[in-house]
Chains A and B, each alone.
Chain A
Amino acid sequence: QQQVKQSPQSLIVQKGGISIINCAYENTAFDYFPWYQQFPGKGPALLIAIRPDVSEKKEGRFTISFNKSAKQFSLHIMDSQPGDSATYFCAASIGAAGNKLTFGGGTRVLVKP
């Protein structure tokens, strides 16, 4: 059972454009939703995270939008740069930020110069 579903599997965006990645979850007990960025040969690195008590969180060019009733959340990358080309994973956990994570399947983003 895939508890966190992520789409699209891949996307191509022009430099300066907006990348949008969507995730949907099933377990209503999830209450911590981080996004990770992974480059080839490297481990995932935390980008930004949100809890369900807020609908949006912005850090620099990265914004998470959260819809609790729909059990969906999304990552927006504004002004996409070639250095943003990576695989992005949404994840979810219950309780503390350091609890075990359930990951989505990943989205490979390619930013064309």
Chain B
Amino acid sequence: GAGVSQSPRYKVAKRGQDVALRCDPISGHVSLFWYQQALGQGPEFLTYFQNEAQLDKSGLPSDRFFAERPEGSVSTLKIQRTQQEDSAVYLCASSRDGEQPQHFGDGTRLSIL
């Protein structure tokens, strides 16, 4: 596809459930980022991949958050035992080679009831 694709666009889960969010970066893009955007706030960095290697996970808020990119393309962000404070828009971004600006997907809006 032409841009970064994220699915699902909307996800509603009950507190305590596990969720998985998918990101399809632009084809050939080496770098992949996940950000969390709370309502009315700027995105906050969660984690970064270069190909399949997770080089920075300093932004993950707890060990309930886990991200992977096993083949260096599609990435999944998994949140276990969801809490209400996990409600946010989760944005994925990719960059061709790390030197080029990031392109963002439209995000997954996660609501925890």
The SS class assigned to the B binding surface is loop
Chain A residues, CB < 8 A from B18: none
Chain B residues, CB < 8 A from A41: 106
Choice from A43, A97, A100, A104 contacting B101 with Cβ under 8 Å? A97
Name the interface residues of B43-89: CB closer than 8 Å to any CB of A: 43-45, 48, 56, 59
Q: Mark interface residues in B22-60 (1 if CB within 8 Å of A CB, else 0).
A: 000000000101010000111111001000000010010
Task: Tell me if A98 counts as interface (CB < 8 A to partner B).
Answer: yes
Cα–Cα, bound, A7→B101 (Å) = 24
The SS class assigned to the A binding surface is loop
Task: Tell me if A96 counts as interface (CB < 8 A to partner B).
Answer: yes
Which of A34, A100, A103 has the largest count of B CB atoms less than 10 A from its CB?
A100
Q: Contact between B104 and A99 (Cβ–Cβ < 8 Å)?
A: no
Q: Contact between A101 and B99 (Cβ–Cβ < 8 Å)?
A: no
- Residue numbers of B with Cβ under 8 A of A are 4, 31, 33, 35, 40-45, 48, 56, 59, 91, 93, 95-107
- Residue numbers of A with Cβ under 8 A of B are 4, 6, 34, 36, 41-46, 49, 89, 91, 96-106
A sample of 20 inter-chain contacts (CB < 8 A) reads A4-B42, A6-B42, A43-B4, A43-B93, A43-B105, A43-B107, A44-B104, A45-B104, A46-B101, A46-B102, A49-B101, A89-B42, A91-B42, A97-B100, A98-B95, A98-B98, A100-B48, A103-B42, A106-B40, A106-B42
